[in-house]
Structure 1
Protein backbone atom coordinates (compact mmCIF):
# COMPACT_ATOMS: atom_id res chain seq x y z
CA UNK A 1 0.00 0.00 0.00
CA UNK A 2 2.75 2.45 0.89
CA UNK A 3 4.75 1.71 -2.24
CA UNK A 4 1.62 2.18 -4.28
CA UNK A 5 1.13 5.61 -2.76
CA UNK A 6 4.72 6.50 -3.69
CA UNK A 7 4.09 5.55 -7.31
CA UNK A 8 1.08 7.88 -7.45
CA UNK A 9 3.10 10.94 -6.40
CA UNK A 10 5.04 13.23 -8.73
CA UNK A 11 8.69 12.21 -8.54
CA UNK A 12 10.78 14.70 -6.57
CA UNK A 13 7.84 16.43 -4.86
CA UNK A 14 7.71 16.88 -1.09
CA UNK A 15 4.81 14.43 -0.80
CA UNK A 16 6.82 11.87 -2.79
CA UNK A 17 9.75 12.30 -0.39
CA UNK A 18 7.47 11.84 2.64
CA UNK A 19 5.98 8.68 1.12
CA UNK A 20 9.50 7.38 0.37
CA UNK A 21 10.46 7.90 4.03
CA UNK A 22 7.36 5.97 5.16
CA UNK A 23 8.28 3.05 2.88
CA UNK A 24 11.89 3.10 4.10
CA UNK A 25 10.72 3.12 7.71
CA UNK A 26 8.49 0.08 7.08
CA UNK A 27 11.32 -1.83 5.36
CA UNK A 28 13.65 -1.03 8.25
CA UNK A 29 11.05 -2.26 10.76
CA UNK A 30 10.61 -5.56 8.90
CA UNK A 31 14.38 -6.05 8.60
CA UNK A 32 14.86 -5.36 12.33
CA UNK A 33 12.08 -7.80 13.24
CA UNK A 34 13.65 -10.50 11.07
CA UNK A 35 17.12 -9.93 12.53
CA UNK A 36 15.72 -9.99 16.08
CA UNK A 37 13.97 -13.31 15.35
CA UNK A 38 17.20 -14.75 13.87
CA UNK A 39 19.18 -13.74 16.96
CA UNK A 40 16.61 -15.19 19.37
CA UNK A 41 16.39 -18.44 17.41
CA UNK A 42 20.18 -18.80 17.20
CA UNK A 43 20.50 -18.36 20.97
CA UNK A 44 17.75 -20.92 21.50
CA UNK A 45 19.59 -23.38 19.25
CA UNK A 46 22.88 -22.81 21.10
CA UNK A 47 21.34 -23.39 24.54
CA UNK A 48 22.50 -26.71 26.02
CA UNK A 49 24.29 -27.88 22.86
CA UNK A 50 27.93 -28.52 22.18
CA UNK A 51 27.82 -28.79 18.39
CA UNK A 52 25.60 -27.38 15.65
CA UNK A 53 25.62 -28.80 12.13
CA UNK A 54 23.82 -27.15 9.21
CA UNK A 55 23.46 -28.05 5.57
CA UNK A 56 25.68 -26.01 3.27
CA UNK A 57 22.83 -24.90 1.03
CA UNK A 58 23.18 -23.25 -2.35
CA UNK A 59 21.24 -20.13 -1.38
CA UNK A 60 21.57 -18.52 -4.81
CA UNK A 61 20.05 -21.60 -6.44
CA UNK A 62 17.25 -21.68 -3.87
CA UNK A 63 16.46 -18.02 -4.51
CA UNK A 64 15.99 -18.72 -8.23
CA UNK A 65 13.50 -21.54 -7.72
CA UNK A 66 9.73 -21.54 -7.43
CA UNK A 67 9.88 -20.54 -3.76
CA UNK A 68 12.64 -17.99 -4.36
CA UNK A 69 10.74 -15.01 -2.99
CA UNK A 70 9.95 -16.90 0.21
CA UNK A 71 13.57 -18.03 0.64
CA UNK A 72 14.80 -14.48 0.22
CA UNK A 73 12.12 -13.16 2.56
CA UNK A 74 13.13 -15.64 5.27
CA UNK A 75 16.76 -14.48 5.07
CA UNK A 76 18.47 -17.88 5.27
CA UNK A 77 21.91 -16.43 4.54
CA UNK A 78 21.58 -13.84 7.28
CA UNK A 79 20.34 -16.51 9.69
CA UNK A 80 23.30 -18.82 9.01
CA UNK A 81 25.73 -15.91 9.56
CA UNK A 82 24.05 -14.94 12.84
CA UNK A 83 23.95 -18.59 13.96
CA UNK A 84 27.66 -18.99 13.21
CA UNK A 85 28.51 -15.80 15.14
CA UNK A 86 26.33 -16.83 18.10
CA UNK A 87 27.94 -20.28 18.21
CA UNK A 88 31.41 -18.68 18.15
CA UNK A 89 30.54 -16.25 20.98
CA UNK A 90 29.02 -18.97 23.15
CA UNK A 91 31.73 -21.58 22.53
CA UNK A 92 29.51 -23.95 20.53
CA UNK A 93 31.11 -25.82 17.62
CA UNK A 94 29.48 -24.91 14.29
CA UNK A 95 30.06 -26.57 10.94
CA UNK A 96 28.30 -26.70 7.60
CA UNK A 97 28.07 -30.15 6.01
CA UNK A 98 27.48 -31.32 2.46
CA UNK A 99 23.80 -30.95 1.59
CA UNK A 100 23.68 -33.38 -1.34
CA UNK A 101 21.08 -36.15 -1.08
CA UNK A 102 20.35 -35.70 2.63
CA UNK A 103 16.69 -36.64 2.10
CA UNK A 104 17.58 -39.57 -0.18
CA UNK A 105 19.88 -41.50 2.16
CA UNK A 106 18.72 -43.77 4.97
CA UNK A 107 20.23 -42.54 8.27
CA UNK A 108 20.10 -46.07 9.70
CA UNK A 109 21.94 -48.10 7.05
CA UNK A 110 23.34 -45.46 4.67
CA UNK A 111 21.66 -46.85 1.54
CA UNK A 112 20.36 -44.39 -1.04
CA UNK A 113 16.56 -44.72 -1.15
CA UNK A 114 16.01 -42.55 -4.24
CA UNK A 115 14.32 -39.26 -4.94
CA UNK A 116 11.07 -38.50 -3.14
CA UNK A 117 8.21 -36.27 -4.20
CA UNK A 118 7.65 -33.25 -1.97
CA UNK A 119 4.24 -34.64 -0.99
CA UNK A 120 5.88 -37.83 0.32
CA UNK A 121 6.47 -36.93 3.98
CA UNK A 122 7.82 -40.22 5.39
CA UNK A 123 11.14 -41.94 4.89
CA UNK A 124 10.84 -45.71 4.56
CA UNK A 125 13.96 -47.73 3.82
CA UNK A 126 13.38 -50.92 1.84
CA UNK A 127 16.80 -52.24 2.87
CA UNK A 128 16.59 -52.08 6.68
CA UNK A 129 12.93 -51.20 7.27
CA UNK A 130 13.68 -47.94 9.12
CA UNK A 131 10.68 -45.59 8.97
CA UNK A 132 10.53 -42.01 10.20
CA UNK A 133 9.48 -38.52 9.11
CA UNK A 134 11.32 -37.32 6.02
CA UNK A 135 12.68 -34.16 7.69
CA UNK A 136 13.83 -36.10 10.76
CA UNK A 137 15.69 -38.57 8.53
CA UNK A 138 17.41 -35.72 6.67
CA UNK A 139 18.41 -34.10 9.97
CA UNK A 140 19.84 -37.42 11.15
CA UNK A 141 21.90 -37.69 7.96
CA UNK A 142 23.22 -34.16 8.57
CA UNK A 143 24.10 -35.15 12.14
CA UNK A 144 25.95 -38.28 10.98
CA UNK A 145 27.89 -36.30 8.36
CA UNK A 146 28.76 -33.59 10.88
CA UNK A 147 30.00 -36.06 13.48
CA UNK A 148 32.03 -37.88 10.82
CA UNK A 149 33.59 -34.57 9.74
CA UNK A 150 34.56 -33.81 13.33
CA UNK A 151 36.21 -37.21 13.62
CA UNK A 152 33.75 -39.09 15.79
CA UNK A 153 33.14 -42.70 14.87
CA UNK A 154 29.47 -42.87 14.02
CA UNK A 155 27.48 -46.03 14.57
CA UNK A 156 24.25 -46.40 12.69
CA UNK A 157 21.11 -45.08 14.33
CA UNK A 158 19.12 -47.35 16.61
CA UNK A 159 15.41 -48.00 16.12
CA UNK A 160 14.67 -45.22 18.64
CA UNK A 161 16.29 -42.70 16.27
CA UNK A 162 19.09 -41.45 18.54
CA UNK A 163 22.72 -41.44 17.48
CA UNK A 164 24.88 -43.84 19.46
Structure 2
Protein backbone atom coordinates (compact mmCIF):
# COMPACT_ATOMS: atom_id res chain seq x y z
CA UNK A 1 0.00 0.00 0.00
CA UNK A 2 2.79 2.44 0.84
CA UNK A 3 4.38 1.86 -2.62
CA UNK A 4 1.16 3.08 -4.28
CA UNK A 5 1.04 6.17 -2.05
CA UNK A 6 4.67 7.00 -2.85
CA UNK A 7 3.97 6.69 -6.58
CA UNK A 8 0.90 8.96 -6.31
CA UNK A 9 2.90 11.48 -4.26
CA UNK A 10 5.64 11.53 -6.91
CA UNK A 11 3.07 12.12 -9.66
CA UNK A 12 1.54 15.01 -7.70
CA UNK A 13 5.00 16.49 -7.15
CA UNK A 14 5.78 16.15 -10.86
CA UNK A 15 2.57 17.97 -11.86
CA UNK A 16 3.18 20.72 -9.27
CA UNK A 17 6.76 21.20 -10.53
CA UNK A 18 5.58 21.35 -14.16
CA UNK A 19 2.96 23.97 -13.26
CA UNK A 20 5.48 26.06 -11.31
CA UNK A 21 7.99 25.86 -14.18
CA UNK A 22 5.32 26.99 -16.65
CA UNK A 23 4.32 29.87 -14.33
CA UNK A 24 7.95 31.03 -14.13
CA UNK A 25 8.44 30.87 -17.90
CA UNK A 26 5.17 32.73 -18.54
CA UNK A 27 5.98 35.42 -15.96
CA UNK A 28 9.37 36.05 -17.58
CA UNK A 29 7.70 36.27 -20.99
CA UNK A 30 5.18 38.81 -19.63
CA UNK A 31 7.89 40.92 -17.94
CA UNK A 32 10.18 41.13 -21.00
CA UNK A 33 8.77 44.25 -22.70
CA UNK A 34 6.43 46.39 -20.60
CA UNK A 35 7.31 48.83 -17.85
CA UNK A 36 4.10 48.07 -15.93
CA UNK A 37 1.95 45.00 -15.32
CA UNK A 38 -1.59 45.22 -13.95
CA UNK A 39 -3.71 42.25 -12.89
CA UNK A 40 -7.17 41.96 -11.43
CA UNK A 41 -7.26 41.58 -7.66
CA UNK A 42 -9.34 38.42 -7.78
CA UNK A 43 -11.11 36.86 -4.82
CA UNK A 44 -9.35 33.51 -5.20
CA UNK A 45 -11.16 31.92 -2.23
CA UNK A 46 -14.52 32.84 -3.76
CA UNK A 47 -13.46 31.52 -7.16
CA UNK A 48 -12.36 28.23 -5.63
CA UNK A 49 -15.82 27.72 -4.13
CA UNK A 50 -17.69 28.36 -7.36
CA UNK A 51 -18.80 26.08 -10.15
CA UNK A 52 -15.31 25.99 -11.68
CA UNK A 53 -13.54 25.75 -8.32
CA UNK A 54 -11.43 22.70 -9.06
CA UNK A 55 -10.27 24.18 -12.35
CA UNK A 56 -9.32 27.47 -10.66
CA UNK A 57 -7.35 25.59 -8.02
CA UNK A 58 -5.66 23.44 -10.68
CA UNK A 59 -4.58 26.55 -12.59
CA UNK A 60 -2.83 27.93 -9.50
CA UNK A 61 -3.77 31.59 -9.98
CA UNK A 62 -2.48 32.59 -6.56
CA UNK A 63 0.87 30.94 -7.14
CA UNK A 64 1.11 32.52 -10.59
CA UNK A 65 0.35 36.03 -9.27
CA UNK A 66 3.04 35.61 -6.59
CA UNK A 67 5.61 34.41 -9.13
CA UNK A 68 4.65 37.20 -11.54
CA UNK A 69 5.02 39.82 -8.81
CA UNK A 70 8.47 38.47 -7.86
CA UNK A 71 9.58 38.36 -11.50
CA UNK A 72 8.39 41.93 -12.07
CA UNK A 73 10.31 43.07 -8.97
CA UNK A 74 13.51 41.37 -10.14
CA UNK A 75 13.22 42.86 -13.64
CA UNK A 76 12.31 46.37 -12.50
CA UNK A 77 8.76 46.17 -13.88
CA UNK A 78 6.01 47.90 -11.91
CA UNK A 79 3.34 45.41 -10.72
CA UNK A 80 -0.05 46.27 -9.24
CA UNK A 81 -3.36 44.55 -8.60
CA UNK A 82 -6.43 46.61 -9.51
CA UNK A 83 -10.09 46.40 -8.55
CA UNK A 84 -11.73 43.50 -10.40
CA UNK A 85 -15.34 44.59 -10.04
CA UNK A 86 -17.31 44.87 -13.29
CA UNK A 87 -14.27 44.81 -15.59
CA UNK A 88 -16.24 42.88 -18.21
CA UNK A 89 -19.33 45.07 -17.81
CA UNK A 90 -17.79 48.48 -18.57
CA UNK A 91 -16.98 49.88 -22.00
CA UNK A 92 -13.29 50.81 -22.13
CA UNK A 93 -13.98 53.41 -24.83
CA UNK A 94 -16.69 55.54 -23.20
CA UNK A 95 -16.92 54.22 -19.61
CA UNK A 96 -20.60 53.31 -19.71
CA UNK A 97 -21.72 50.17 -17.90
CA UNK A 98 -23.00 47.79 -20.58
CA UNK A 99 -24.49 45.22 -18.22
CA UNK A 100 -23.83 41.62 -17.43
CA UNK A 101 -22.89 39.32 -20.31
CA UNK A 102 -23.56 35.62 -20.61
CA UNK A 103 -20.52 33.34 -20.99
CA UNK A 104 -21.83 32.39 -24.43
CA UNK A 105 -21.51 36.05 -25.52
CA UNK A 106 -17.89 36.43 -26.73
CA UNK A 107 -18.12 40.01 -28.00
CA UNK A 108 -18.31 43.35 -26.18
CA UNK A 109 -20.68 45.70 -28.00
CA UNK A 110 -21.35 49.11 -26.44
CA UNK A 111 -24.84 50.43 -27.12
CA UNK A 112 -23.67 53.94 -26.17
CA UNK A 113 -20.64 54.49 -28.43
CA UNK A 114 -20.74 51.43 -30.71
CA UNK A 115 -17.30 50.15 -29.64
CA UNK A 116 -16.97 46.46 -30.54
CA UNK A 117 -14.22 44.06 -29.52
CA UNK A 118 -13.68 40.69 -27.88
CA UNK A 119 -15.06 40.72 -24.32
CA UNK A 120 -11.74 39.60 -22.83
CA UNK A 121 -9.88 42.35 -24.69
CA UNK A 122 -12.39 44.93 -23.41
CA UNK A 123 -11.96 43.68 -19.83
CA UNK A 124 -8.16 43.85 -20.19
CA UNK A 125 -8.46 47.42 -21.47
CA UNK A 126 -10.54 48.35 -18.40
CA UNK A 127 -7.88 46.76 -16.14
CA UNK A 128 -5.21 48.78 -17.97
CA UNK A 129 -7.15 52.04 -17.55
CA UNK A 130 -7.66 51.36 -13.84
CA UNK A 131 -3.98 50.56 -13.40
CA UNK A 132 -2.85 53.69 -15.21
CA UNK A 133 -5.24 55.77 -13.10
CA UNK A 134 -3.81 54.18 -9.95
CA UNK A 135 -0.26 55.20 -10.84
CA UNK A 136 -1.26 58.77 -11.58
CA UNK A 137 -1.60 58.88 -15.34
CA UNK A 138 -4.31 61.25 -16.48
CA UNK A 139 -7.03 58.97 -17.73
CA UNK A 140 -10.76 59.04 -17.33
CA UNK A 141 -11.66 57.07 -14.21
CA UNK A 142 -14.39 54.73 -15.36
CA UNK A 143 -16.25 54.19 -12.11
CA UNK A 144 -16.53 57.85 -11.13
CA UNK A 145 -16.53 59.68 -14.47
CA UNK A 146 -13.81 62.12 -13.42
CA UNK A 147 -10.18 62.64 -14.22
CA UNK A 148 -7.56 61.34 -11.81
CA UNK A 149 -3.91 62.28 -11.73
CA UNK A 150 -1.77 65.23 -12.68
CA UNK A 151 -2.96 67.12 -15.75
CA UNK A 152 -0.67 66.96 -18.76
CA UNK A 153 1.27 70.21 -19.13
CA UNK A 154 0.29 71.92 -22.35
CA UNK A 155 3.02 73.48 -24.42
CA UNK A 156 2.71 77.21 -25.02
CA UNK A 157 3.02 78.27 -28.64
CA UNK A 158 6.38 79.73 -29.68
CA UNK A 159 6.10 83.29 -30.95
TM-score by length of 2: 0.83
CA contact (8 A) 1:52 1:92 kept: yes
- Structure 1 regions of 5+ residues with no counterpart? 1-22, 159-164
Q: Calculate the aligned-residue CA RMSD, in Å.
A: 2.1
8 Å Cα contact 1:95-1:146 kept in structure 2: yes
Q: Is the 2:95–2:142 Cα contact (8 Å) retained in structure 1? A: no
Gaps of 5+ in 2: 1-7, 144-159
Distance 2:135 2:18 in 1: 34
CA drift at 1:154? 1.9
Residues in 2 aligned to 1:157 and 1:58: alpha-carbon distance in whole angstroms: 21
The aligned length equals: 136
Shift of the 157–65 alpha-carbon distance from structure 1 to 2, 3 Å rule, reads: closer
Which of residues 120, 133, 136 is equivalent to 2:118? 133
Please identify which structure carries the higher strand content.
2
Given the two structures, how large is their TM-score scaled by the length of structure 1?
Answer: 0.80
1:83-113 alpha-carbon deviations (Å, 9 max, x no partner): 0000000000000000000000000000000
Asked if the contact 2:130/2:141 (under 8 Å) is kept, the reply is: no
SS of the aligned residue for 2:141 comes to coil
Who wins on radius of gyration, i.e. which is larger?
1
